[in-house]
Amino acid sequence: MRKPIIAGNWKMNKTPAEAVEFVSALKEKVGSVTEREIVVCPVFNALVPVSGVIKGTSIKLGAQNVYWEDSGAFTGEVSVSMLKASGCEFVIIGHSERRLYFHETDRTVNKKIKKSLEAGGLTPIVCVGERLEERENNTTFKVVETQVKEGLSGLKPDDMNKLVIAYEPVWAIGTGRTATPEQAEEVHAFIRKTLSGIAGEDVSNEMRILYGGSMKPENISGLMKCENIDGGLVGGAALKVDSFVKLINYE
Ligand code: PEP
């Protein structure tokens, strides 16, 4: 049984004070929900204060990025151990905005995943997804397969079930244009088949594959009814307590 994850990717939004205000309200409403795994991913400088507020609740903390070295002359970067020391249990890796604006590649995604798993205790949420022109060229499956295979290259089957995949069609992110449940399920099923080819069916059946791309309270139920959709990585609709709570409490 795969426990659904509802993860909020706040991107570059909310000061530490605003983030604390958000999670203070959130924990009153869903702080004891256990049937769904709830994750919030604030900006780096809000991690420690948010971690203090959610301590002892079922809300978990994630970061939006990580670097693969332990420490040293890497201005602007943050390591796995630093994230863990800030209370993080999850980290988003390879978000399409990082691929697009910060030139992340499957190779750097792979290094980040390996480092997160090696140190243990930090679950990567690995983002994959095709751009609009790739969908229109009918190369969605090829693109996603390459991202999954190269991103996860060299991982031991034992490590595979410690990570989460997020299928985020780039054309649906922040655009209000959601993939239909059929479109999303088709790719999720394909991703699970690809994972099965890498790590075997038992492991791939345990792995959670989230959908991301304009998920909101109005469309989550249809998406979550699909066999291979195990939760959501949510941007815009995770920024307001009310809509995030509705997403967590979807039926
Ligand atoms: C995201 O950035 O991961 C995302 C899915 O954003 P949105 O929900 O706003 O489309």
**Which stretches does DSSP call E strand in 111-229?**
123-128, 164-167, 209-211
Pocket of ligand 1 (CB under 6 A): 9, 168, 173-174, 212-215, 233-237
pLDDT tens figures, 1-54:
899 999 999 999 999 999 999 999 999 999 899 999 999 999 999 999 999 999
| Centroid of ligand 1 to alpha carbon of 152 (angstroms) | 22
Would residue 168 show up in a list of annotated catalytic residues for this protein? yes
- Rg of the chain over Cα atoms, rounded to whole angstroms, equals 17
What pLDDT, in 10s, does the model give residues 93-112? 999 999 999 999 999 999 99
120 band by pLDDT with thresholds 50, 70 and 90: confident
Q: Which atom of ligand 1 approaches the CA of 215 most closely?
A: 8
Please state the domain count of the chain: 1
Residue 251 counted as domain residue: no
> Quick check: is 32 in a domain?
no
In a domain, 243, yes or no: no
Atom of ligand 1 nearest to the CA of 168: 5
Residue 176 has pLDDT above 90, yes or no: no
- Residue 15 domain flag: no
E strand map for 17-137: 37-41, 59-63, 90-93, 123-128
**Domain assignment present for 167:** yes
pTM across the whole model? 0.97
Residue 250 counted as domain residue: no
Phi and psi, residue 234, nearest 5°: -120, 130
Q: What is the pLDDT of residues 202-227, one digit of tens each?
A: 999 999 999 999 999 999 999 999 99
% of the chain at pLDDT higher than 70? 100
Residue 166 domain boundaries:
66-236
Output DSSP code: residue 236: G
CATH number of the domain enclosing 137: 3.20.20.70
Q: Tell me whether residue 35 is one of the annotated catalytic residues.
A: no
Residue 52 domain-assigned (yes or no)? no
Measured from the Cα of 237, ligand 1's closest atom is: 8
Query: Is 230 a member of any domain?
Result: yes
